Amino acid sequence: MSTATSTQWHLVRRPVGEPTPDDVARVEATLDELGPDEVRVANAFLSVDPYMRGRMDDKPSYVPPFRLDEAMTGAAVGHVVESTSDALPVGTMVTHQYGWRDVAQGPAARFTAVEELDGVSLSAYLGVLGLTGLTAYTGLVRIAEMKEGDAVFVSGAAGAVGSMVGQIARLRGASRVIGSAGSAEKIALLTDRYGFDAAFDYHDGDIRGQLKAAAPDGIDVYFDNVGGEHLSAALHRLKRFGRIAVCGAISAYNSTGEPEGITGMTNVVRNSLRIEGFTMGDHWDLGADFQAEMRPWLENGDVVFDETILDGVDNAFDAFTRMMRGENVGKMVVRVTEPS
């Protein structure tokens, strides 16, 4: 492995609007020999997530921008193939942030050993047991302070985070769980597989009217993955003391102009509503509580999860853009072909 290489994705230009293949480059990098207390990891799965779009812009945000002409980063899981670390010997399964590449390398302290669970794909660590699941849990439990008996609405409900929000809400005693998604197939998935009580297709338009029909008695909590018209609709539907956890605004991420204005904000006073944005960097402390609650649900089959898997590190950028267009069901991951 002394002349090992890594196929990596670099950002070469700041995207304007939707990222295009010209904004990135696939680069073959030669890896240095390991220094002391380092590991080399053959990635099994790479994560692509909406927040990465923000990192492609050169503006202040909750995570620093990607630098141009360097490998992009993100969550990944794999096994150690070479090691100078006693803590992480060859063969250890690890999660880490050196994604967007097939082979990762760095200080052992940057990698976290994980257990492989029986019958659960390693990719779960990028989703239901990773950032995705913890994001759903944080927004619902800490930010929106969901209580038993609450009616909960989540947008982008067939997505990785959304499908977890709906299931956690149900398992924590929601009186009604309502989801929106972007196709008839996804809508069916919400009610048939994830246990939502009601679901609607936002491509059918009149989001406000559809939400009213799905939640005739109003909602207590809105988990917002989308922003825009969904947020306006929720503001009109929230009951007194309703809470909105704002996790994302995917409708605006690729927007080049000023996003459409939000209506219904006068309800914030009228109904004593709370709207709160959050990003996971401030909530890692919830991880232990989350794992303690989520593992039994997974073991008991109370929580199901889906993945859309694209094969090959060469398809990582394609996976990202497809995820941004909403073509995934559940967590979008890239399965890395075993390096030769």
Binding interface with a copy of itself (CB under 8 A): 54, 61-62, 227, 231-232, 240, 246-249, 252, 258-263, 265-279, 282
Q: Which is nearer to a copy of itself, 8 or 225 (CB)?
A: 225
**Least distance from C-beta 63 to a copy of itself, angstroms?**
10
Q: Where are the beta strands (DSSP E) in 57-132?
A: 76-83, 93-96, 103-107, 112-113
Q: 79 or 239: whose CB is closer to a copy of itself?
A: 239
CB of 252 to a copy of itself, least distance (A): 5
Please report how close the Cβ of residue 80 comes to a copy of itself at its closest, in angstroms.
35
Query: What whole-number distance in Å separates Cα of residue 324 and Cα of residue 53?
Result: 8
Query: Is the Cα torsion angle 283, 328, 115, 95 positive or negative in sign?
Result: negative
Least distance CB 200 / a copy of itself (angstroms):
22
**73 vs 138, beta carbon nearer a copy of itself:** 138
Smallest gap from residue 237 Cβ to a copy of itself (A): 13
d(CA 14, CA 17): 9
Residue 106 to residue 99: CA distance in whole angstroms: 12
**Axis-axis angle for helices 228-237, 207-214 (nearest 10):** 40
> 62-77 burial string, b = 16+ CB within 10 Å, else e?
eeeebeeeebbbbbbb
For residues 52 and 249, which CB has a smaller minimum distance to a copy of itself in the complex? 249
Q: Work out whether the CA dihedral 38, 281, 196, 180 comes out positive or negative.
A: negative
* Closer to a copy of itself by Cβ: residue 266 or 291: 266
Q: Please, what is the minimum distance in Å from the beta carbon of residue 230 to a copy of itself?
A: 11
Task: Closer to a copy of itself by CB, 185 or 276: give it.
Answer: 276
Minimal distance, residue 133 CB to a copy of itself, in Å: 19
Cβ nearer to a copy of itself, comparing 27 with 262: 262
Burial 207-226 (b: 16+ CB within 10 A, else e): bbebbeebbeebbbbbbbbb
CA gap 234, 219 in Å, rounded: 8
